């Protein structure tokens, strides 16, 4: 299942969904707290659906979309009673917001946290950043600090953001795109934090990558407006405020010394990648549209 686009307005996405169905493109609408996501069922439909999406975004009031709603339209069921959704449905919705790579990184973080609690220092020594980067042959340690978390809240906070932002990239683009953003932000944020700490290796966590994802998801749709998602401005404000508070030192007594430079470098890396890939994908889309 592939997410094609997301809209704020129910009636708008419903019209487009029904139009795609009239063209033989199977899809469903996933109802989320702040948006409606259109999910394609077959990968072979993606190219045609994207072409149709481009036409829809250029002229959403075209009568063909609304005529399709009268012919095939359905009402989305959204459970509003106090019983809540069943566990199976909740897990299905949770999975729908992620993908294989998103899940894999989350599982690794949880497993490493368990091993760190059980075994302590040997796990830290095996995964922490090398203090002598020029002479190390343990190359995995250039990335592995992102899997180290030093408290349950530290782990949960990072995984919530990873699942939401990473899952968005994997659903709307690809697992390889998410892997590339993950790799770049992990390498650069770890390196930057090591330099800021004077080659010390007493840091860890996925938060540098999370800030990288934030920067990517924030700037990508600005560089490529035709993409079907937008980052809520409130999220950007909250994360930037958290970054500023971290640099102020006010949270050091609560959370210990924070890896603020990893956050900043991760954010800047994500911003650059979001701009670069957004413009690249927009140009590719324009070339294909011209053909």
Using one digit for the tens of pLDDT, what is the confidence trace for 127-151? 988 887 777 788 888 999 999 998 8
Tell me the residue range of the domain where 35 lies: 2-83
State which of 52, 83, 114 marks the end of a domain: 83
User: How many domains is the chain built from?
Assistant: 2
pTM of the model: 0.70
Calpha distance 65→68 (Å, rounded): 5
- The pLDDT value recorded for residue 10 is 72
23 in the same domain as 148: no
198 in the same domain as 153: yes
281 in the same domain as 148: yes
Calpha distance 147→127 (Å, rounded): 8
254 in the same domain as 154: yes
The secondary structure of residue 37, as a DSSP letter, is E
Establish if 89 belongs to a structural domain. no
- The pLDDT value recorded for residue 81 is 43
Establish if 180 belongs to a structural domain. yes
Establish if 284 belongs to a structural domain. yes
At residue 260, does pLDDT exceed 90?
no
- The pLDDT value recorded for residue 197 is 66
284 in the same domain as 156: yes
Calpha distance 47→208 (Å, rounded): 34
Establish if 90 belongs to a structural domain. no
Establish if 91 belongs to a structural domain. no
At residue 36, does pLDDT exceed 60?
yes
Phi, psi of 238, rounded to the nearest 5 degrees: -60, -45
Beta pairing partners, 29: 38
User: Annotated catalytic sites, by residue?
Assistant: 207, 263
At residue 256, does pLDDT exceed 90?
no
Strand 35-40 relative to strand 2-7, pairing:
antiparallel
Phi, psi of 38, rounded to the nearest 5 degrees: -95, 120
State which of 83, 116, 140 marks the end of a domain: 83
3-state helix, strand, coil in the chain (%, to 5): 65, 5, 25
State which of 60, 83, 106 marks the end of a domain: 83
The pair of three-digit structure tokens given for residue 101, joined into one six-digit string: 């790579």
250 in the same domain as 162: yes
- The pLDDT value recorded for residue 288 is 60
């Amino acid at each position: 299942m592939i997410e094609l686009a997301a809209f704020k307005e129910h009636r708008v996405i419903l019209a487009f969904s029904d139009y795609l169905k009239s063209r033989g493109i199977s899809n469903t609408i996933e109802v989320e707290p702040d948006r409606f996501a259109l999910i394609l069922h077959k990968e072979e439909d993606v190219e045609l659906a994207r072409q149709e999406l481009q036409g829809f975004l250029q002229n959403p009031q075209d009568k063909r979309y609304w005529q399709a709603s009268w012919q095939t339209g359905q009402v989305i069921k959204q459970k509003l009673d106090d019983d809540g959704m069943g566990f199976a449905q909740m897990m299905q919705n949770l999975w729908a917001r992620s993908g294989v790579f998103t899940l894999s990184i989350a599982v690794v973080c949880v497993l490493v946290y368990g091993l760190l609690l059980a075994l302590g220092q040997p796990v830290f020594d095996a995964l922490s950043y090398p203090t002598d980067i020029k002479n190390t042959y343990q190359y995995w340690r250039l990335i592995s600090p992102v899997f180290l978390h030093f408290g349950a809240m530290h782990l949960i906070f990072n995984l919530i953001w990873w699942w939401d932002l990473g899952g968005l990239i994997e659903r709307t683009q690809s697992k390889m795109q998410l892997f590339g953003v993950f790799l770049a932000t992990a390498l650069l944020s770890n390196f930057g934090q090591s330099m800021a700490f004077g080659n010390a290796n007493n840091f860890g966590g996925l938060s540098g990558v999370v800030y990288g994802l934030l920067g990517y998801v924030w700037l990508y749709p600005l560089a490529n407006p035709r993409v079907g998602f937008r980052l809520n401005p409130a999220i950007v404000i909250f994360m930037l405020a958290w970054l500023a508070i971290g640099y102020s030192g006010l949270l050091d007594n609560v959370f210990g010394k924070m890896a603020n430079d990893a956050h900043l470098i991760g954010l800047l890396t994500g911003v650059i990648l979001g701009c670069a890939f957004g413009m690249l994908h927009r140009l590719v889309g324009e070339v294909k549209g011209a053909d």
